[in-house]
C-alpha cells in the first residue's frame, strides 16, 4: 500500500470515528430512544392537583381533609366559642408554656415585644396605655393594658382575646401562631410588671400571680385601678 493511500484511509477512518462519537453522545436532557409495545405502566396517568377529576363526586382532584382529622405536626384545635364566658373558661384551662422568671420566659417576652410593636402598638400604644396612632385619629380607644381588666385576667383569657378578638378588637389568630400569642402575652405581663412591680413579682409562680386579690373578672368587682404614672421607662429587667 502506497503511503498516500494509507494516509487517505487513516483520514477517512478518523472522520468516521469522530462521526460515530458525535452520534453516540449522550444528551441527558432528552429521554432515551425507546421502542414501546403498548404503553403499559411506562406513563402514570397522575392528575394535576387542580385538574378536573371524574373519579370524585365533587369533580375535583384535590380533596379536602376528612372532617375531624388533624394534620401531622399541625395545631391542635381549640374548643372555645368567641364569647366572654368562653374567654373565662379559657382562663381556667389554658396556661402559658413559659414561666415568666425562666430563661425561656424572658426570651418569649423579648420576642413578644417585637410582635407587639408590629401588631398591637397601632392601637394600644408602645406602653400599652391605649394611645396608639390609630386611636389618635379617631378609632375607639382600647382600655389600658396596664391598669385595665387585662391586668387581672388570666393568661388563658388573654390568649382567648388574641385568638377570637373582643368587641372592636380584631382577632390575631391568622397573624400570630399560638406560640407567638404566648410570646405577646409574656410581653404584656412584662409591661404590667414594670407598671406595678409589687403586684406581679417576677419570681412568683404564675398560679400565685393569678390568685392575687381583686380578680375582677372572676368576682365581677370593679377592676382595681392602678396609676399609669407608676410605669417607669427603665428597662432594668432582662
Question: Which of 3, 167, 220, 238 is close enough to bind ligand HEC by CB under 6 A?
Answer: 167
Indicate the residue whose CB is closest to ligand HEC: 167
Give the CA count within 13 Å in the CB-facing half-sphere of 73: 0
Evaluate whether 161 touches 87 at the Cβ level (below 8 Å): yes
Report how far apart, in Å, the C-alpha atoms of 99 and of each of 44, 70, 95, 155, 165 are: 54, 28, 10, 11, 24
Nearest approach, Cβ of residue 89 and ligand HEC (Å): 16
Q: Calculate the CA 107 to chain-centre distance.
A: 17
Of the pair 53, 131, the CB lying nearest ligand HEC is at: 131
CA 30 to chain centre: 43
Report the candidate in 108, 102, 123, 74 with the shortest Cα–Cα distance to residue 181.
108
Q: Which of 162, 191, 226, 231 binds ligand HEC (CB under 6 A)?
A: 162
First to last CA, the chain: 97
CA-to-CA dists, residue 72 to 76, 151, 203, angstroms? 10, 36, 36
Q: Is 119 in the site for ligand HEC (CB under 6 A)?
A: yes
Query: Rounded to whole angstroms, how far apart are CA atoms 215 and 16?
Result: 96
Q: Which stretch binds ligand HEC (CB under 6 A): 11-19, 43-51, 62-70, 148-156?
A: 148-156
Cell numbers found for residue 172: 390575631
Among the listed ranges 14-22, 34-42, 55-63, 141-149, the one in contact with ligand HEC (CB under 6 A) is 141-149
- Exactly one of 111, 149, 200, 230 binds ligand HEC (CB under 6 A); that residue is 149
Among 96, 147, 166, 231, binds ligand HEC (CB under 6 A): 166
Q: Is residue 216 helix, strand or coil?
A: helix
172-211 positions binding ligand HEC, by CB under 6 A: 172, 184, 188
Draw the binding track, 65-104, toward ligand HEC (x: CB under 6 A; -: no contact).
----------------------------------------
Segment contacting ligand HEC (CB under 6 A): 56-64, 100-108, 146-154, 205-213?
146-154
Grid cell for residue 39: 404503553
Q: Pick from 96, 99, 150, 215 the residue near ligand HEC by CB under 6 A.
A: 150
**Which residues of this protein are in contact with ligand HEC, per CB under 6 A?**
119-120, 122-124, 134, 139-140, 142-143, 145, 148-150, 158, 161-162, 166-170, 172, 184, 188
Amino acid at each position: 500500500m502506497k503511503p498516500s493511500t494509507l494516509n487517505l484511509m487513516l483520514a477517512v477512518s478518523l472522520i468516521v470515528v469522530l462521526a460515530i462519537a458525535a452520534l453516540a453522545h449522550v444528551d441527558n436532557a432528552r429521554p432515551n430512544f425507546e421502542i414501546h409495545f403498548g404503553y403499559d405502566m411506562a406513563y402514570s396517568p397522575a392528575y394535576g392537583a387542580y385538574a378536573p377529576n371524574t373519579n370524585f363526586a365533587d369533580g375535583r382532584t384535590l380533596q379536602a381533609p376528612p372532617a375531624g382529622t388533624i394534620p401531622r405536626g399541625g395545631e391542635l384545635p381549640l374548643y372555645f366559642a368567641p364569647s366572654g364566658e368562653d374567654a373565662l373558661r379559657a382562663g381556667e384551662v389554658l396556661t402559658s408554656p413559659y414561666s415568666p422568671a425562666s430563661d425561656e420566659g424572658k426570651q418569649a417576652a423579648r420576642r413578644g415585644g417585637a410582635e407587639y410593636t408590629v401588631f398591637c402598638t397601632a392601637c394600644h400604644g408602645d406602653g400599652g396605655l391605649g394611645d396608639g396612632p390609630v386611636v389618635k385619629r379617631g378609632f375607639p380607644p382600647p382600655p389600658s393594658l396596664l391598669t385595665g381588666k387585662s391586668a387581672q385576667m388570666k393568661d388563658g383569657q388573654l390568649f382567648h382575646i388574641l385568638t377570637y378578638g373582643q368587641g372592636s378588637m380584631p382577632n390575631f389568630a391568622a397573624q400570630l401562631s399560638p406560640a407567638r400569642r404566648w410570646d405577646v402575652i409574656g410581653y404584656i405581663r412584662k409591661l404590667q410588671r414594670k407598671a406595678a412591680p409589687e403586684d406581679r413579682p417576677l419570681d412568683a409562680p404564675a398560679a400565685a400571680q393569678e390568685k392575687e386579690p381583686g380578680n375582677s373578672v372572676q368576682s365581677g368587682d370593679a377592676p382595681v385601678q392602678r396609676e399609669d404614672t407608676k410605669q417607669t421607662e427603665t428597662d432594668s429587667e432582662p
